[in-house]
Structure 1
């Protein structure tokens, strides 16, 4: 196992130890034992910077399931390194923040850090995996671990609701994505992402289905429209989880997948415009809804959705690089550069803002902006961090969000020249940016400006302790530093990541020339930014006059209403269906089973056109065999029409003993003895059970119902007989019985072939059958004891 594999598995290994640490080390916050790991992983991934800066790829492979061609392949390039650094770097700050946010006396910290480490490990697995199946395994692990984190305060209804909602939507998309992965692997002949990038797949029939199935998975995970509804409800998680989930992990997984597979799918215009338009719709709609929220975390949740839409739209537009002659001016590279740069910027300012909201909630007891206000002088450090993060999110200079927002406008303006209708792209981007500015201003002004309202707060507001402020200060400092000297990332982080997303368009190891600056002259992008500022301030000043528009949006028309109602409709529909078909009658259930079996078997045979029956090789039927078969038929008919339970049991036993005689005639004495024992025991048990049942009385039923039963019975008999004849006539392989003849004595040292098969060759089958019988016996014993106990109580 390579060092790279060990780093991917390290969080899982530590997660195993955390419960023991939590149990035996009570004097110290367990977070201090967890913190060294993400720091060490961050430093370790920094060591790859030299290779990645040269556009080299570090690979490591390890067999996993060789028989299915599934291996645990990992590699580090510019894109995966960027995500790995975000996951471990911000993960370190989140763990440090959680140490001061979560009190060890009141919280189940063992559970929290186990879930957090599982989450971290799963995200590292996603961004470092080269094999699609391994990537999918880690993908679903993020859904499970995020479910556990969101439901951390599981006694709260909203926490359970948010966790279930997130897992249902993301796992639904994940299953569709798995189908897309399989289709893509069939089309390309490999599960390796690196190898698929070098294959020509556009002409394959499965290329388009794989494209849309994979996009479903990416859109659900990254909360794109219309699947974004799970993300605002995920804010019920503790604030450290929200900061981690919204800035660097869960929601960025879908972004990573789109970026990683761009070299494979961007050759299709369906991919380009689907990703671009879905991203823009998400950006606009979420930014519009964010402005009406009154909960600070809800504002940030919707802002996350809108920012994810912005990055997604940029990746879509960046895919145009695979369609047009762009190399001279790098027309669409700016879109990919903007996406990568804003992804980094968003992690810094959104992580700091979530931590600020956690501080406000922790020190005042509320996140409701209607109860907050005037905290600027009381919490000056928190205010400064919030101001920096909000202005960066709004896209104002001199912060890093301004630089990537300018690139965003540039990309949208260039995209409008590709298609006539694409002129809507910069328009929608500009309008959505106005609302982005609006909710950024509302976030700061409603919390820190205005009148202080101590009577509405659960606690007396005060500044947070230094330990809780360290993490957001680090992130806010990055916002400022990167805004002032952005090119510190150009060749070390951004260039290699852009090279990975646009893989195949550059010569091997070709260096990408990237230079980021604040001033480009009086360009359309500058005037768009000025327009955002002016119209955003106008909307802010007149917010009370037009915000009633939100009340006109009917809740019954929202996607959340559709989601909630769908479960109600499904529950009602299932209850209605079950009340009709689940009658409590065993005979009815057997009719369902037999009818479905007959229909499926005959349909399959007809579909495959395998009606050939050859009876020429059958042994001749002897007279006494005919007599025995007729006797069994008569006994069977007697069992059905008998009006006495004793008669029915005896006639049913006669059928079983007839089968035993057939085994004797066919020279299978072991089977005959087994059949005799089973029939004897069954008859005894039947007599014992029926002895305690009420007196038997045969109810008169309609002739039609009897005819239906007779028809199904005949159909089952005919179908089984036809299948048996078809199986006999359609033998394509030698019988396996010869294997047992040749190996029973040699390999198992036994002369009785049937016993050896049951005990040795198929020993596990026999063991599990015994276990099933033992479980059934225990169940019957428990029910008998309960019944006797109830009778004693009476």
Structure 2
């Protein structure tokens, strides 16, 4: 594993460690420990500047699925480094800011876990050289963004904003994944660098343009381009540190990064040029126009961010035309656009993050962001006012700040576009500088609104003057540092040209350089009386005039019909989808388990029958060649049939459970006869635990009522049952008769010991050859157990609330002891009468069977000893972590049945849900540990060692994985058992 891999993984590891150890920071803000993570990353990436600027890119490869060309491959060039420095550098300031912004009473462990996961995901996006890995990190940014936006999940606006951002960005992610798949079909590789070298051979492919459009959809959704921009304003419900980090400096730049990264592949295409440039300019104008309308400071910054992202996107679109000309003087016109785009990408991160922090300070100190309730704060908050003024003027492109440099280059690129005729542009090229100039005018207007409406004029704050004061130094330092960068890079612009911008340009336009050539990148604050300078003067003059006249023309926003807004269309579509989905679901989800089984079995039968018809000529039905059968097998088979047929005719549920258990135990005996001890053990324990679960469930159910079912009801049941039986019989005959491939059993028999060090082929399959299946299976089990836990708890809470309401209503009607219904009456009897209101107490199931209790005290130790034997012996003999966990759970279930579930809780004060998580964590860490040695995920190894007393002993990493499986299975089983085994 390279240092670059360690840098990407570091935030994830640090986040989980700090989340588990957060209780150690009771007297210290958790952010101080978190601050070390981005600081370390920033130091590492800063140390790579000299190497990257000299064209010595940093790379590292860890194979994952070599057959599909999927690997954890990372690559750090100029473009990646520019973004990585933004992610880590602004990450330092955001974490420092959050220490003073976020109260220690909030769930800081969650906040910083999500923030660090997002930081790692963003680093993964900008450093990935493999498209599938990039997509994985891409979607992880959407997930962590969702969690951060919904951090205050009790607010409806927070959850609604999080949902909107998640739906839109994940939709874009799916589109981008489809584009990556098309790229793979054209090139046979997921490597971005390898695809760049193949761009000349794939442009004539019919899949090229669809891939281009799909990848752009993903980029547009993430970078809030029109019409996908609607998620960004609602995302401002996130805490201010999140807005300053995700929605100004990092996440919204991911789409821009993808456009820049794939420019060498698609840049010479007219469709790429028109889509990227057109959507960017439309977003630029639309965002700046709407920002003036808003009265919430965060909303103004949200639409400002949309506008600025459109500006950068349009520059990347114009710059992509350089690849149309190839190497030469003509391409130099368009390299200005790429230079401006990269410079503004960096500059925007500095001044916009500072402005978000300033708005957070105003909100934190004044309790509002509404400019209609602010004003005159400069007298009380002079430092905050100064920072807001610097950030706003930089955003408006006023000298001597860094925003002026990139805005002038932006104007220069737009003006130069009018001089060339490409992609059918013609005389329409004049539209480009016009839109750019008008959008800049509105940018100045909302920048003046932020400063003047908030800090100057008459104070409209409801707080008395005595309570108005400057923010604490901890909140001022981060925006102060950013504003110093804004001024420093404005006065000394060439500090960035050779170290960051030029290497990034070389990564975006590699084909324009020959050998060791470099782009001529130089910035200066004064570059003469140029057309773009006159455009800036015009922006200032007209912008100030329109700001002064704002009350006279601002009512134009009221004439736009709200029903036609994209935001309203989104809600209409979402509401209709939810409405019709609910109606459709309610049509077949009517609460009848029998109906659900009919749907499932009918669909399965139909699917299999269709498969038979499609493959009819290729199927050989094995109806003659069968293995010899013994007398015992015949007896067991007849017993199995008799037990199964008896279940529908059982007169009570207990008889049905006994018959169901008999079916399972007969199958266990069949496994024994067929010499499958692992399957027999698993089947036996599963049946035992299942019977116990059935019995525990009966405690909650009424008596079985058998009425006269309709003829139609019974006919449907009979048809479905017979169809399933016939089809599954045909499947068995077809499977045994149709052999199109050689059996893989011989491979596993030969390689189980030599490659995995285990003699028990079944266990080796579970923990080594197909360990991924087992990992996903225990994850599914964990999710199922949590779902059962949540479902029962929610149901009990609903019953609790209903009984409370009924009791209180009856109590209000009479002064005597109320008559309750059955459920509430039980609660009254078991509850604590000394409490002022009705409460629920846990009533564990108990047994008074002395013989069972006495026997259990002995038998349980035998079962636990056997479970340990199964766990440790499983690699060479029947057993393993899965069956060991089940046997251990069976011992605990026996205790619960003999005594009570409360006995287990007192004897073993373990949170079995946490035990499940620990087991999953061990399994995941065991799989990830192989990455440290450059091996694919979940690779196992083993060796023989001389140990004291034990002599030569085999030690295998598979045992650690098996330990995770053991703990997860035990945790899952006991979570379900204990939850069902208790009543309220």
- Matched-pair contact (CA < 8 Å) for 1:759–1:766: no
Tell me the residue number matched to 2:434: 427
Tell me the residue number matched to 1:57: 57
In the aligned structure 2, how far is the partner of 1:22 from the partner of 1:611? Answer: 61
* Distance apart, 1:737 and its partner CA: 7.1
Tell me the residue number matched to 1:164: 163
Q: Kindly indicate whether structure 1 or structure 2 has the higher relative contact order, using CA contacts under 8 Å at least 6 residues apart.
A: 1
- Matched-pair contact (CA < 8 Å) for 1:326–1:332: no
- Matched-pair contact (CA < 8 Å) for 1:758–1:766: no
Tell me the residue number matched to 1:508: 515
Between stretches 735-744 and 374-383, larger displacement belongs to 735-744
Tell me the residue number matched to 1:558: 565
Cα 1:536/1:714, change in 2 over 3 Å: same
- Matched-pair contact (CA < 8 Å) for 1:390–1:440: yes
Q: Does 1:97 align with 2:105?
A: no
- Matched-pair contact (CA < 8 Å) for 1:183–1:206: yes
- Matched-pair contact (CA < 8 Å) for 2:623–2:733: no
Query: Where do 5+ consecutive residues of structure 1 fail to align?
Result: 790-794
Tell me the residue number matched to 2:2: 2
Tell me the residue number matched to 2:443: 436
* Distance apart, 1:291 and its partner CA: 0.9
2:739 to 719, 728, 731: 731
* Distance apart, 1:26 and its partner CA: 4.8
Q: What's the CA shift string for 1:702-744, capped at 9, x where partnerless?
A: 5x66655555455444433443443344212345677899999
- Matched-pair contact (CA < 8 Å) for 2:493–2:523: yes
In the aligned structure 2, how far is the partner of 1:162 from the partner of 1:536? Answer: 32
Between stretches 607-616 and 44-53, larger displacement belongs to 607-616
Q: Does 1:251 align with 2:258?
A: no
Tell me the residue number matched to 2:239: 238
1:335 to 328, 334, 337: 337
Number of residues paired by the alignment? 780
Tell me the residue number matched to 1:140: 139
Between stretches 47-56 and 774-783, larger displacement belongs to 774-783
- Matched-pair contact (CA < 8 Å) for 2:696–2:980: no
In the aligned structure 2, how far is the partner of 1:779 from the partner of 1:153? Answer: 30
1:590 to 580, 590, 597: 597
Q: What's the CA shift string for 1:445-482, capped at 9, x where partnerless?
A: 11122112343579832233344333222222222232
2:454 to 447, 455, 478: 447
- CA-based RMSD of the aligned residues comes to 4.7
In the aligned structure 1, how far is the partner of 2:647 from the partner of 2:175? Answer: 49
* Distance apart, 1:314 and its partner CA: 1.2
Q: What SS is found at the alignment partner of 1:504?
A: helix
In the aligned structure 2, how far is the partner of 1:546 from the partner of 1:688? Answer: 72
* Distance apart, 1:346 and its partner CA: 0.7
In the aligned structure 1, how far is the partner of 2:355 from the partner of 2:692? Answer: 75
Q: What SS is found at the alignment partner of 1:75?
A: strand
- Matched-pair contact (CA < 8 Å) for 1:166–1:234: yes
Q: What SS is found at the alignment partner of 2:320?
A: helix
* Distance apart, 1:513 and its partner CA: 0.8
- Matched-pair contact (CA < 8 Å) for 1:649–1:686: no
Q: What SS is found at the alignment partner of 2:51?
A: helix
- Matched-pair contact (CA < 8 Å) for 1:364–1:460: no
Tell me the residue number matched to 2:948: none
Q: What SS is found at the alignment partner of 1:376?
A: helix
- Matched-pair contact (CA < 8 Å) for 1:645–1:690: no
* Distance apart, 1:290 and its partner CA: 0.9
- Matched-pair contact (CA < 8 Å) for 1:56–1:509: no
* Distance apart, 1:262 and its partner CA: 1.4
Task: Report 1:27-46 matches (<5 A).
Answer: 27-46=27-46
Tell me the residue number matched to 1:345: 347
Tell me the residue number matched to 1:463: 470
In the aligned structure 2, how far is the partner of 1:684 from the partner of 1:401? Answer: 70
Tell me the residue number matched to 2:925: none
Q: What's the CA shift string for 1:593-623, capped at 9, x where partnerless?
A: 122112222333444564544558546999x
Tell me the residue number matched to 2:123: 124
Q: What SS is found at the alignment partner of 2:59?
A: strand
- Matched-pair contact (CA < 8 Å) for 1:365–1:459: no
- Matched-pair contact (CA < 8 Å) for 2:4–2:58: no
2:727 to 719, 725, 732: 719
Cα 1:768/1:248, change in 2 over 3 Å: same
Q: What SS is found at the alignment partner of 1:323?
A: helix
1:477 to 471, 484, 500: 484
In the aligned structure 2, how far is the partner of 1:737 from the partner of 1:328? Answer: 65
In the aligned structure 2, how far is the partner of 1:53 from the partner of 1:776? Answer: 56
In the aligned structure 1, how far is the partner of 2:325 from the partner of 2:168? Answer: 36
Q: Does 1:537 align with 2:544?
A: yes
* Distance apart, 1:427 and its partner CA: 3.1
Tell me the residue number matched to 1:389: 391
Tell me the residue number matched to 2:503: 496
Cα 1:387/1:785, change in 2 over 3 Å: closer
Task: Report 1:663-742 matches (<5 A).
Answer: 699=708, 701=710, 711-713=719-721, 715-734=723-742
Between stretches 512-521 and 477-486, larger displacement belongs to 512-521
- Matched-pair contact (CA < 8 Å) for 2:62–2:71: yes
- Matched-pair contact (CA < 8 Å) for 2:149–2:161: yes
Q: What SS is found at the alignment partner of 2:333?
A: coil
Tell me the residue number matched to 1:216: 217
Cα 1:637/1:457, change in 2 over 3 Å: same
- Matched-pair contact (CA < 8 Å) for 2:340–2:406: yes
- Matched-pair contact (CA < 8 Å) for 1:87–1:123: yes
Q: What SS is found at the alignment partner of 2:301?
A: helix
Cα 1:294/1:67, change in 2 over 3 Å: same
In the aligned structure 2, how far is the partner of 1:570 from the partner of 1:529? Answer: 47
Cα 1:595/1:472, change in 2 over 3 Å: same
Cα 1:96/1:723, change in 2 over 3 Å: closer
Tell me the residue number matched to 2:83: 83
* Distance apart, 1:301 and its partner CA: 1.2
Tell me the residue number matched to 1:792: none
In the aligned structure 2, how far is the partner of 1:620 from the partner of 1:355? Answer: 76
Cα 1:761/1:197, change in 2 over 3 Å: farther
Between stretches 592-601 and 119-128, larger displacement belongs to 119-128
- Matched-pair contact (CA < 8 Å) for 2:249–2:349: yes
Task: Report 1:288-307 matches (<5 A).
Answer: 288-307=289-308
Q: What's the CA shift string for 1:110-160, capped at 9, x where partnerless?
A: 444343333323222222222333333333333333333333334433333
Calculate the TM-score normalised by the size of structure 2.
0.69
Q: What SS is found at the alignment partner of 1:247?
A: coil
* Distance apart, 1:231 and its partner CA: 1.6
In the aligned structure 2, how far is the partner of 1:332 from the partner of 1:135? Answer: 28
Tell me the residue number matched to 2:581: 574
- Matched-pair contact (CA < 8 Å) for 1:365–1:457: no
In the aligned structure 1, how far is the partner of 2:17 from the partner of 2:396? Answer: 42
Q: Does 1:599 align with 2:601?
A: no
* Distance apart, 1:311 and its partner CA: 0.7
Tell me the residue number matched to 2:208: 207
In the aligned structure 2, how far is the partner of 1:604 from the partner of 1:333? Answer: 57
- Matched-pair contact (CA < 8 Å) for 1:94–1:243: yes
Calculate the TM-score normalised by the size of structure 1.
0.84
Cα 1:71/1:430, change in 2 over 3 Å: same
* Distance apart, 1:163 and its partner CA: 3.0
Cα 1:58/1:640, change in 2 over 3 Å: closer
Cα 1:621/1:259, change in 2 over 3 Å: same
* Distance apart, 1:499 and its partner CA: 0.9
Cα 1:372/1:204, change in 2 over 3 Å: same
Tell me the residue number matched to 2:804: none
Cα 1:709/1:334, change in 2 over 3 Å: same
In the aligned structure 1, how far is the partner of 2:517 from the partner of 2:445? Answer: 42
In the aligned structure 2, how far is the partner of 1:434 from the partner of 1:34? Answer: 41
